[in-house]
Amino acid sequence: MNIRLCLLWAFFAFGVEAIWKFSVKHITTDGDNDATETYLPLPSTDPWYRAPDGWEAAQPGTVFKVRHHAYNVSLVPVANLKEVFQVLFRSTNSLENATWGVTTVFIPKNCTQGIVSYQLPYDTSCLDASPSFGLQWGDPYGEIGQSLGRGWWVSVPDFEGPLASYGASIVAGYITIDSVRAVLATVAKEFGVKNARVGLWGYSNGASATEAAVEFAPKYAPELKLAGAAIGGLTPSLSTSGPMLRGTQVSGLLVQGIIGVTSQYPEQRKWVLSRLHQSGPYNATEFFWATYMSGWQSLLYYAYVDVFQYFIGGRADLEEPGMLAMFYREGTLGVFGIPNTPIFMYHAIDDDTTPIGETDSVVRNFCEKGSNILYHRNSWGGHNDELTNGRQRSLDFFGTVLGGGNTLPFPATGCETVDIKFMQDPNKPIA
């Protein structure tokens, strides 16, 4: 494993920015682990990461535990940060059964009534690479610090849940909504912040969680009033983009996705286990090494691998009807419900990961059914570029819907689609 890993570092031309370059290496190489006293234990070994007895009977969004001073903030390199707490709450899984979730809340030095629920794409089936743990070492894009600088609280849910179900949009949507309910209850009870406004923000896989949440919200959480959602680089169809990943520099995402989605589907997991080669090159053991890797590490490890080679029947094993049905159910957005939350949607016209045409269709459908959307189609750059190029506009959108600093003009009702050409000036600080 180490030899192949080293060889793959040679491919360092890697321009994959829309993934958190968090590495579980310094955590799994125990012995020289500096985590024992000043950092939290790994989620897989942390007794706090458990729901109390009888938890299944509670309503979704119920708060089970609050961990104050969760991080040693003097060690956390995040700007404008005062304190960090975590909340463990009841939620719902992909098969509509009880599950639970964790969110990590960053408190700004100068608090307002705004909360940003920030769905960070972590792209892994490894629970120990969840944001609640990894963010102790910092904020990958600076967006948490920038939001704190505007006076907003920032809640970062582990939206893949306790099974690290990467690629499963349904559980991600439910956990995102329930994290908002739990955070609203907690800030009201413990900090006296009533009537807080909440915005949701997600790019790439974080966009899937955010988008599923706004589609579910009208039915699943009719009491919840969301102020707005910024959604960028959305992947409306996993079925079309999934197989395209094989043999590319992001093949690792396909391995993580097969493991992640089947963590919610016991029947399909059994099928996968029965179809993986047990020995030889490309065997089951190596396939499941992905569950010890962050998303970034698995990109390096499985880069350019033909993932179908792990399966006895090749690609056909992943196109077995039960598998196709699962991927379709989890990976198709725009079909769960019609959002009643104002949405700022942004996408690069030349997005090389998720074609803009699919996002155009989702927006068109929502708009025909009465949604309120500002849609920016940017002719500058691809998927990774739009992560950065959309940042200032997203923050300004939250300025409009949450209050605080610059604003982005937003249609009072209905939809507006604007083709723009915008590149963030690298010398201009984002604020």
Secondary structure (H, E, C), 315-377? HHHHCCHHHHHHHHHHHECCCCCCCCCCEEEEEECCCCCCCHHHHHHHHHHHHHCCCCEEEEE
Is residue 33 close enough to count as binding ligand NAG by CB under 6 A?
no
Q: Assess whether 132 carries a catalytic annotation.
A: no
Element (H, E) at 27: helix 25-28
Among the listed residues 46, 65, 66, 112, the single contact to ligand NAG using CB under 6 A: 112
Query: 3-class DSSP state for residue 252?
Result: helix
Of the ranges 14-22, 72-80, 319-327, 423-431, which one interacts with ligand NAG (CB under 6 A)?
A: 72-80
Is residue 281 close enough to count as binding ligand NAG by CB under 6 A?
yes
Among the listed residues 47, 280, 321, 409, the single contact to ligand NAG using CB under 6 A: 280
Among the listed residues 5, 6, 7, 75, the single contact to ligand NAG using CB under 6 A: 75
- How much is the CA Rg of the chain, to the nearest whole Å? 20
Is residue 97 close enough to count as binding ligand NAG by CB under 6 A?
yes
Among the listed residues 33, 239, 274, 283, the single contact to ligand NAG using CB under 6 A: 283
> Residues of 390-417 as b/e, b for ≥16 C-beta within 10 angstroms?
bbbbbbbbbbbbbbbeeebebeeeebee
218, 219, 291, 314 from 223: Cα distances, Å: 8, 9, 37, 47
How many angstroms separate the CA atoms of 11 and 342, rounded? 41
Of the ranges 70-78, 119-127, 344-352, 418-426, which one interacts with ligand NAG (CB under 6 A)?
A: 70-78
89, 181 contact by CB (below 8 A): yes
Among the listed residues 59, 279, 413, 427, the single contact to ligand NAG using CB under 6 A: 279
82, 107 contact by CB (below 8 A): yes
Instruction: Give the shortest CB-278-to-ligand NAG separation in angstroms.
Output: 7
- Which C-beta is closer to ligand NAG: that of 44 or that of 110? 110
Is residue 38 close enough to count as binding ligand NAG by CB under 6 A?
yes
Of the ranges 40-48, 158-166, 240-248, 281-289, which one interacts with ligand NAG (CB under 6 A)?
A: 281-289
124, 182, 283 from 295: Cα distances, Å: 5, 27, 20
Among the listed residues 74, 195, 413, 427, the single contact to ligand NAG using CB under 6 A: 74
- Which C-beta is closer to ligand NAG: that of 151 or that of 295? 151
Is residue 420 close enough to count as binding ligand NAG by CB under 6 A?
no
Q: Which residues pair with 100 in a beta bridge?
A: 90
Catalytic hit among 91, 117, 132, 204 = 204
Query: 3-class DSSP state for residue 103?
Result: strand
Q: Assess whether 69 carries a catalytic annotation.
A: no
Of the ranges 40-48, 121-129, 276-284, 364-372, which one interacts with ligand NAG (CB under 6 A)?
A: 276-284
Q: Phi then psi for 391, rounded to 5 degrees?
A: -65, -50
- Which C-beta is closer to ligand NAG: that of 168 or that of 343? 168
Query: Residues in the site for ligand NAG, rule: CB under 6 A?
Result: 37-38, 72, 74-75, 95, 97, 110, 112, 151, 279-281, 283, 285-286, 404
Residues marked as catalytic:
204, 351, 383
